[in-house]
Amino acid sequence: MADEMENSTPAEESLLEKIADKIHDHDSSSSSDSDNEKMESPSAVKEKIYRLFGREKPVHKVFGGGKPADVLLWRDKKLSAAVLGTTTAVWVLFELVEYHLLSFVCHISILTLAVLFLWSNAHSFINKSPPQIPEIHVAEEPFLLIASAIRNEVNHAFTVLRNIALGKDLKKLLKVVAGLWVISIVGSWCHLLTLIYICVVVLHTVPVLYEKNEDKVDPMAEKAFIELKKQYSVLDEMVLSKIPIRPLKPKVV
């Protein structure tokens, strides 16, 4: 065998080298292609996945990622149950029992002040320490932050309403009218407190259920949004595009 290898011609040796080089190139290219497919496949799959309302963050991050998100998504079950239970108790007290808010506040204040007054004067007779009542001072900063946030939202709402009133955005007009119409219908069904309670219950149930079943909900939502876009395009072509909108005249200074 060794004699045969030594007796092989240079042409045969060059042919064998070319075949070996082709096999090596094919293996390296196939391995690089497979590596590229492995690197690109997660991003390609990620791009194809549709998320509700076009979100890119997890549900927990959408709600802020802090303590409120933990409460709404039942990450802190004790606190979530306490919030929902307290809200239910308040709704039952004021809606079903028909207890008035002002009377409730006054009665609770009377009971608390009476208990503390008696405890402060009778602590020597019952051999207990007097109640430690801290001095309460309301900080200014939280109220300023809340007022600033409300002011920004109100200004944004006024800006949107002004643009709609000036005839700049027909789509926003339809959205606002539809939203107000839905709110008016829901408001005719129940009182404000019941509506707030329904919103609290929805916020404590729908997000956590969606988070657990988002892989099933997102494809269905994608089909629904595609169908809505088709219907809106038909409406836009047949009705909305034919509505004449005058351009705004520049103000004369």
Residue 251's Cα: distance from chain center in Å? Answer: 41
Q: What is the pLDDT of residue 120?
A: 83
Q: What is the pLDDT of residue 154?
A: 92
Q: What is the pLDDT of residue 216?
A: 85
**Residue 71 burial by Cβ neighbours in a 10 Å radius (0-12, 13-18, 19+):** buried
Q: What is the pLDDT of residue 81?
A: 92
Q: What is the pLDDT of residue 151?
A: 92
3-state SS record for the chain? CHHHHHCCCHHHHHHHHHHHHHHHHHHHHHHHHHHHHHHHHHHHHHHHCCCHHHCCCCHHHHCCCCHHHHHHCCCCHHHHHHHHHHHHHHHHHHHHCCCCHHHHHHHHHHHHHHHHHHHHHHCCCCCCCCCCCCCCCCCHHHHHHHHHHHHHHHHHHHHHHHHHHCCCCHHHHHHHHHHHHHHHHHHHHCCHHHHHHHHHHHHHHHHHHHHHCHHHHHHHHHHHHHHHHHHHHHHHHHCHHHCCCCCCCCCCC
List the one residue out of 121, 144, 140, 120 whose CA is nearest residue 131. 120
User: Which residues in the chain come in under a pLDDT of 70?
Assistant: 1-50, 52-54, 124, 240-253
Q: Residues with Cβ < 8 Å from 130, sequence gap 6 or more?
A: 119, 120, 123
Q: What is the pLDDT of residue 54?
A: 66
Q: What is the pLDDT of residue 72?
A: 87
Q: What is the pLDDT of residue 46?
A: 44
Q: What is the pLDDT of residue 40?
A: 43
Q: What is the pLDDT of residue 43?
A: 45
Predicted TM-score (pTM) above 0.75: no
What angle separates helix 192-212 from helix 77-91, to the nearest 10 degrees? 150
